[in-house]
């Protein structure tokens, strides 16, 4: 009896593992997570009710502190894309999830640089072309990720792809497609 139960459990384990593997020739799925630690009290006072929906327990940055850190050239590390570098196969579906408390963008850029909110750019850093115009630019608006949502990036060509948040430009990730 015990051998039969063990055999069924092992069969179930193999089936679950096989189910999670990408189909032969398929590259599968990779995930990038957008994180932040906005303080709901200060962000919502400045930007409106329910703008910041922080889910980080005990970790918050106030609105003023976020701008002060950026102006000092030491942007808040709690605002980040994880991982910073991702190696994927051609054909991989890239899922970008916003698990932070506020909106972000996941915008492909030719070169990393500033975003469309000058006060959040590093000292002397200019807005990159792809972020210019902010959300009035439809191309930027289409890369917006709201809190708790995700976007799928598909069909990336072989080579290096740079993505950044056009709001918080220190949020950057390099995706290498092989």
CA geometry: angle 142, 98, 70, nearest 5 deg: 90
- Give 26's pLDDT tier (boundaries 50, 70, 90): low
Domain positions in the chain are 28-177
Helix or strand (DSSP H, E) at 12: helix 2-20
Task: Name which residue leads in pLDDT, 15 or 156.
Answer: 156
**DSSP code, position 13:** H
Whole-model pTM?
Answer: 0.83
**Is the pLDDT at 152 greater than 50, yes or no?**
yes
**pLDDT for res 33:** 97
Mean pLDDT of 39-66: 91
Residue 82, CA distances (Å) to 5, 99, 100, 152 in order: 40, 11, 12, 15
Is residue 6's pLDDT more than 80? Answer: no
**Phi-psi sector, 75: left (phi>0), alpha (psi -120 to 50), beta:** beta
Q: Over 70: is that where the pLDDT of 20 sits? A: no
Element (DSSP H or E) covering residue 48: none
Domain 28-177 has CATH 3.40.50.9100: no
110-142 pLDDT tens trace: 999 999 999 999 999 999 999 999 999 999 999
């Amino acid at each position: 009896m015990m051998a039969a139960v063990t055999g069924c459990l092992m069969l179930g384990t193999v089936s679950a593992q096989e189910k999670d593997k990408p189909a032969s020739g398929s590259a599968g799925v990779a995930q990038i997570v957008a994180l932040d630690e906005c303080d709901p009290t200060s962000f919502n006072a400045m930007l409106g009710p329910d703008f910041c929906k922080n889910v980080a327990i005990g970790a918050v940055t106030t609105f003023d502190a976020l701008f002060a850190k950026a102006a000092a050239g030491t942007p808040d590390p709690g605002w980040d894309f994880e991982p910073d570098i991702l190696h994927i196969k051609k054909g991989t579906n890239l899922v970008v999830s916003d698990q932070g408390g506020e909106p972000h963008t996941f915008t492909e850029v030719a070169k990393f640089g500033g975003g469309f909110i000058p006060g959040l750019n590093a000292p002397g850093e200019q807005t990159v072309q792809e972020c210019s115009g902010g959300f009035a630019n439809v191309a930027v608006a289409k890369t917006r990720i709201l809190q708790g949502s995700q976007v799928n990036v598909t069909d990336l060509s072989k080579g290096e792809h740079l993505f950044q948040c056009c709001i918080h430009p220190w949020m950057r990730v390099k995706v290498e497609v092989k």
